[in-house]
Structure 1
C-alpha cells in the first residue's frame, strides 16, 4: 500500500478536539466534546445509538462543520474542513452507511475523484493494477471489475475499506467495520489494523462489540447524550464499567431468560432451493413458543433462507407450510396476510423509507386493515393514535412519530420496524441480524421484545452471525454451511464448539 501512514509527533496528539458542539434543528447532537487520538493508537468511540458518535466522526471527516470548539490535526488548527480536504490531509473515514456508486465497478469506486490520468486521458491500466495490488495486500476476496450493485454487503464493506486505504492515511475512521464481514475477513482486518498502528496511523473505531474492543483498543471514550462522559484505558476498564458509563445504568443481564415452551410446528420448510442457488435442499421447521436460531458465516445462505420463506427470493424447488398447510410462492404482502413478519438486516435499503415519518413506516404493513383504512381511504386519526401507543410501548425516544425515520439512530430505526409487529395479528417472526448496528441498551430491548413474542406463543426465527447472541436466544439452532443445513443442535449439544465445527465441515449429508 502507498505509505499507509507515517510516524506522528510523540509529544502531541495527532488529532485534538476541544469543546466541539453541533446543533441541528431542535437537537443539540454534540455538547462540548473533547477527544484526542495519538499516532499509532486505536481509540474506540463507545456509546448508545444517538449518543453523538456519528455526528462526531462526521465533524472529524469534514461532513459537518462544528458550531463551537477547536480542531487541531497534526499540530495545526483546522478551519472550514471539507471531506475532500480531510482526505487530502490524511483523514479517511469508512462509514457504516456505504458511499459507493452502485452502477460503477469496484475499481471505478476506488478511484472516483482521484483518477490517474495523463494529458486528460485516464490511465485505466495503471488504475486496474493499483486496485488489484491493494486488494491483494488487504487479503480481500474482491474482483475489481465487478459492479458494486452485484456485490454482497460483505464485499461492499471490503470495497469501502480498500477505498479508504488507497491514498496516504494518517487517521483512519472505522464505523462498525466488521458488521458484514466473515470471521476470516474480520481476522484479516485486525491484522491490517495492527500493521497500520506500527506505521503510526491513528485509528478511531466505532463498535458495540465488546470482543473487538478487548482485542483492539488502547483507549475508549464514552459518549452519552452528546456529551463526553469519560476516556479510559481499555486494559483497566471492565465490560460492566463501559456499559454503565454508556447507559447511565447497570445492565446485569444482556440476554434475558426466555421461557421456551415449544408447541405445534408453525413453519415447516421441506427440500427448499432458491433460484440463485444460495439455498439448496434445506429442511427446517420452527415451533410456536420458542426461538429457532440459524447460524453460519456470511454468505452461507442463512439470510436467503428467511427471505425465500417470506417471498422475497424466488424458490425453484421445495415446499413451505404454515400451520401444516402448503403455501404457494408469493410476495411479502401475502406473507403478512398469512401472519408472517420479516425484519431485514439492512434497515436502510430494505427496511425503512428514510424520508417518510415514523408513523408511516410503522403503519405501512397494516394499511389493508379496516382500522387504518376504509374503502381505500386512510384513517389518519386512527393511524396516529395506534402508532403513538406502539411507539410509547417500544420506548421510542423522543416519541415524536412525525419525525422522518432517516433522523433516527440505529436502535430507534429497529424499534420503528418492530412496531409493525404490533399493528396486526402475526404468528411467525423472521429476524435477520436483529442487533446489527445497535448499542447494548437497544439490544436488551430487542431481546425483551422477542421474549414477549415467545411468551405469547409466537414462532420466532433469529438469523445471526453473532454466535453468543444466537446461542443465548435460541432453543434449537440450525447451522448453515454453503447453502445447506450442516447441523441441528439443541440441549447440551448447542455449544459454540459444535457450531464452529459445523461452519467448516463437508456437507455430504444433511442433518436429520
Structure 2
C-alpha cells in the first residue's frame, strides 16, 4: 500500500508524538498531519492510541515528546482553552454538556450573548435554533440536556463545535448514537465544511462510512503508526488487516440455531410508560434481534423488564416464576444478564480495577461460598481470570482501573461479567457500540458460543447489518409496539426498514 499525500496547505502537523502514562506508552513516535478541506480518518483497534493522540491535539494531555504545528506555527497546548483558541473544535465520545442547563444555554456556555450587561435570551434562542436548522437536527432547544436521548446530546455537542467556527474539527465516533437520517445530515455538514477549507479528523470504527466522506486514513496499532494511505488506493480488507495485524476473514460467524429452542422467557401483555401492551417469547438456542429507530421503545421494553424503568402491567414469566416488577438483582439471580448500552454510566465502576468489576458478578454464583458461608477468594479469582481470557481481555489490564482502558476493553469487561455465572438469558443492548472491527468480531464469536450452548441471546441494536447477520428471528419496534416479526429469509434490510414507521 502506498503512503498517502495531500498537496494543500497544512493545518496540523504532529511529529514524533509519544505519550507515557505511569510507565506505559500509549503512543510511540507517531506522525500525523491534516490539510485544509480534508477529512482524515484515524483508524485502529480500541487502545491503539487514536483518542490519546487527539486528546493531545485538543489540549487534554501534553505529549511526553514530539512537536505540534497549527497553521505552520509551533504550539504547546497547556489546556483545552489553548487548543480552542488555536481554532480546534472537538466532539469527544464523552460529552461535556451541563445536564441541568437547556440546549440553548449549553450552546452558548462561556460565550453568552449580552444586552446591557445581561444575558440576551432572545438572541441566544434565535441563534441556537439557527445552528440546529442548519444541520436539520430536530431538537427542542428549550429542553434541559438531562431530558435528551444520547443521540440528541451527540447532536448538541456537534452544534457546539460548529458554533465555535473551528478550522480543525475532531469528531470522535460521531455517528455511534445517530440514526441513518441523522448520519446523512451530519455527512452533508461534513461535505459543506470541507468546501470551506475546514480540516476534519474523523475517528470511527465504521469502515463503511469512510468511502462516503474521507480523503486519507491513518492507521494506528498498539500506539504506533502503521501508515497513512489515500483512501482510493486501499481496500477495506487491507485496512482491517493493517489495523488488527491479521486478516479477519469473517466478521459475522454462522450461528447454528439449536433444535430444542424452548421458551425461556414469556411476556404477556407487558406494558410500561411509552409502550403498548407487548406479548413475546424469548427462546433458548437462538439470537432474537431487536430493531427500531431511537425512541421506538426497542430498549425501553427490556430496561423495563429488568426494573430499570417502571412497568405498569403484565406478566414476565421465567421457569413459571413471575418476575414482573421484581428488583434488578432478583432477575439477575434468576438467570437473566443485561448488558447496558452506556458502559460508563451503567455498566462499570470506573474507578475500580478491572478484576474487581468482574468479581462483583462472581458473587451471584451459589458455588462461590464455602460451607461456612465465606467467599472462596481463590475460586473467585480463578473464575474472574477465566472469564477475562474468554472475553479476550489482556491480563495486564486486570490490575488497571476500568476508567484507564479504551472503550473496546471496557466493553470486554461487561462481557466478562456476563460469563462468570451460568445465565440462561443474555440481553445485549447495543453490544458493539464504539468498538473496533477486531473487538466486534470477538463479541460475535461470544454470541455464537452462548447461543450454540443453548442460551437465549437478545441483541438490541441500531446497527442493521448486525441485526440482520446475527439474528434467527427479528422483532421490529415502532412507536412503542412490535410492528413485525421476521424469521429466516424474511430478515432483510427492506423488510426491517419498511416497518420502522
Partners in 2 of 1:119 and 1:87 — Cα distance?
A: 27
Of residues 271, 274, 284 in structure 1, which corresponds to 2:272? 274
Q: Does 1:258 align with 2:255?
A: yes
Q: Does 1:144 align with 2:124?
A: no
Partners in 1 of 2:175 and 2:200 — Cα distance?
A: 15
Are the counterparts in 1 of residues 362 and 384 from structure 2 also a CA contact under 8 Å?
no
Partners in 2 of 1:376 and 1:76 — Cα distance?
A: 66
Q: How does 1:402-441 map to 2 (within 5 A)?
A: 402-441=399-438
The number of equivalent residue pairs is 494
Of residues 289, 300, 316 in structure 1, which corresponds to 2:296? 300
1:94 alignment partner in structure 2: 91
Of residues 34, 39, 51 in structure 1, which corresponds to 2:48? 51
- Structure 1 range deviating more: 138-147 or 242-251: 138-147
Are the counterparts in 1 of residues 26 and 49 from structure 2 also a CA contact under 8 Å?
yes
- Structure 1 range deviating more: 287-296 or 396-405: 396-405
Of residues 343, 354, 364 in structure 1, which corresponds to 2:350? 354
How much has 1:153 moved relative to structure 2? 0.6
Are the counterparts in 2 of residues 371 and 382 from structure 1 also a CA contact under 8 Å?
no
- Structure 1 range deviating more: 315-324 or 201-210: 315-324
- State TM-score, norm by structure 2: 0.95
Of residues 36, 40, 46 in structure 1, which corresponds to 2:37? 40
Write out per-residue CA displacement over residues 33-76 of structure 1, whole angstroms, 9 at most, x where no aligned residue.
11111111111100000000010110111111111111111111
SS in structure 2 at match of 1:329: coil
Of residues 93, 96, 106 in structure 1, which corresponds to 2:103? 106
Partners in 2 of 1:462 and 1:305 — Cα distance?
A: 13
- Structure 1 range deviating more: 283-292 or 359-368: 359-368
Of residues 73, 78, 81 in structure 2, which corresponds to 1:76? 73
Q: Does 1:62 align with 2:59?
A: yes
Partners in 1 of 2:201 and 2:373 — Cα distance?
A: 51
- Structure 1 range deviating more: 385-394 or 448-457: 385-394
Of residues 339, 346, 349 in structure 2, which corresponds to 1:343? 339
1:5 alignment partner in structure 2: none
SS in structure 2 at match of 1:15: strand
Of residues 383, 386, 398 in structure 1, which corresponds to 2:383? 386
- Structure 1 range deviating more: 115-124 or 177-186: 115-124
Of residues 269, 286, 291 in structure 2, which corresponds to 1:290? 286
Are the counterparts in 2 of residues 387 and 401 from structure 1 also a CA contact under 8 Å?
no
Partners in 2 of 1:80 and 1:197 — Cα distance?
A: 25
2:150 alignment partner in structure 1: 153
Partners in 2 of 1:10 and 1:255 — Cα distance?
A: 39
2:171 alignment partner in structure 1: 174
Partners in 2 of 1:254 and 1:403 — Cα distance?
A: 29
Partners in 1 of 2:82 and 2:36 — Cα distance?
A: 20
1:318 alignment partner in structure 2: 314
Q: How does 1:233-252 map to 2 (within 5 A)?
A: 233-252=230-249
How much has 1:386 moved relative to structure 2? 2.3
Write out per-residue CA displacement over residues 169-194 of structure 1, whole angstroms, 9 at most, x where no aligned residue.
10111111111111111111111111
Are the counterparts in 1 of residues 323 and 331 from structure 2 also a CA contact under 8 Å?
no
How much has 1:119 moved relative to structure 2? 5.8
Partners in 1 of 2:42 and 2:234 — Cα distance?
A: 14
Q: How does 1:101-250 map to 2 (within 5 A)?
A: 101-117=98-114, 120-250=117-247
Partners in 2 of 1:429 and 1:293 — Cα distance?
A: 12
Are the counterparts in 1 of residues 359 and 381 from structure 2 also a CA contact under 8 Å?
no
Structure 1 regions of 5+ residues with no counterpart?
Answer: 1-8, 505-512
Are the counterparts in 1 of residues 314 and 324 from structure 2 also a CA contact under 8 Å?
no
Partners in 2 of 1:411 and 1:189 — Cα distance?
A: 24
Are the counterparts in 2 of residues 183 and 297 from structure 1 also a CA contact under 8 Å?
no
In structure 2, relative to structure 1, the CA distance for the partners of 1:398 and 1:386 (3 Å cut) is: closer
How much has 1:502 moved relative to structure 2? 1.2
How much has 1:318 moved relative to structure 2? 2.2
Write out per-residue CA displacement over residues 396-422 of structure 1, whole angstroms, 9 at most, x where no aligned residue.
124342211111111211111111222
Are the counterparts in 2 of residues 103 and 148 from structure 1 also a CA contact under 8 Å?
yes
How much has 1:394 moved relative to structure 2? 2.1
SS in structure 1 at match of 2:496: helix
Partners in 2 of 1:465 and 1:171 — Cα distance?
A: 29
Are the counterparts in 2 of residues 269 and 321 from structure 1 also a CA contact under 8 Å?
yes
Q: How does 1:363-378 map to 2 (within 5 A)?
A: 363-369=359-365, 371-372=367-368
Are the counterparts in 2 of residues 49 and 411 from structure 1 also a CA contact under 8 Å?
yes
1:450 alignment partner in structure 2: 447
Are the counterparts in 1 of residues 304 and 310 from structure 2 also a CA contact under 8 Å?
yes
SS in structure 2 at match of 1:165: helix
CA RMSD between the two structures: 1.7
How much has 1:112 moved relative to structure 2? 1.6
How much has 1:372 moved relative to structure 2? 4.4
